[in-house]
Structure 1
Amino acid sequence: MRSPASEKLGIIRLLEGSHLRAKRRLDRLGIPTFYRWYDRSLALGEAGLEVRKPHPGRVWTRSPDEIREGIECRALDETELSPRERVLRFTDTERHFASEALVYPILKAHDLIASRAFVVIKAIDEIRDKTKRPNQMWQTDFASLKITGRGWSSLGTILDDVSRAFVAWKLCTTLKARDVTDTPELALAASGCDSGRSGTSRGCHPTTAPATSPAI
């Protein structure tokens, strides 16, 4: 937290009237910038002790004003070009490099950026077909893992939608079709279900009655 000018001036007056050496007094107060305060107070008085807001100097990545004005004039003349097309056209004709990050805010300031066509898709508040018992629906997923000394492997898992317990899992060194089909087969064997149907975005549905105690 920066000290106000009045507090800085009070510290200066305190040190001026102290019988202790300035360095010893400053060490006790813990003020490493005192001499800069003192020099500014001698030159400008209390106004020199006001908190000065930091301001950046010259931004070396900023393009010259004449380049920015040239881009702006061309953008107003050829409004159909996109920011990327504008960059390529300007670089080819003016022999001066300009980035898309420079052109985009100029076009946006003059409302020359066309809105992208998009369709709003609203998610439903809750799932319509809710599961009510174990083994009614499973969720499957495959993740790539890097194991030290072994390399990359794929972990296939089957998760029960109700109990949130792992029905089966398999660690594979490849991700072939057989590796993918083995994981549901392991889950069917562990749960006691005969078969299942898949193909939906919500998981695999066993077709037989649920097992009495789902396997983890």
Structure 2
Amino acid sequence: MRLSAAEKYEIIQTATSSEIGVKRTLESFGIHRSTFYKWYQKYLQNGYDGLEQGHRVSRRQWNSIPEEQKDLVVEVALDHTELSSRELAHKITDEQGVFISESSFYRILKQRDLIPAPNHILISAANEFKDKTSFVHQMWQTDFTYFKIIAGDGTI
């Protein structure tokens, strides 16, 4: 619930002149002390105008990567196509002095369609083991690619 400047001013006047104390007065209004003291500090610094609802200057989040750095990421990636995104992230940190995490580097390149989809290698399972045991209790191990699992409906 947002209060107007007049309501904030009224609460400040009531709380500061109250005989029961600021804490109990604010509890009766249902307002946290930290909120009250922020209002009070603004009132002391800027008067009544300080209580007006301020507007944020920027809608950008505090931890977002600026566009200039994103453009730098793309530029470095296009100049060094032989390097992976991880190597590029280290390169830009070492040479440019700009820290961008490996995951952010990858995400920026992926958003700009500069990272191709990975090639999936299809492995088909065999009907029998390639390395068979020669006697009963011989030690052996296998890889899951050796197992051929066929469901009742014929799907794998």
Pairwise same-fold verdict (TM > 0.5):
no
Give the number of the structure whose residues are more often strand, by fraction: 1
TM-score (ref. length: structure 1)? 0.35
Give the number of the structure whose residues are more often helix, by fraction: 2
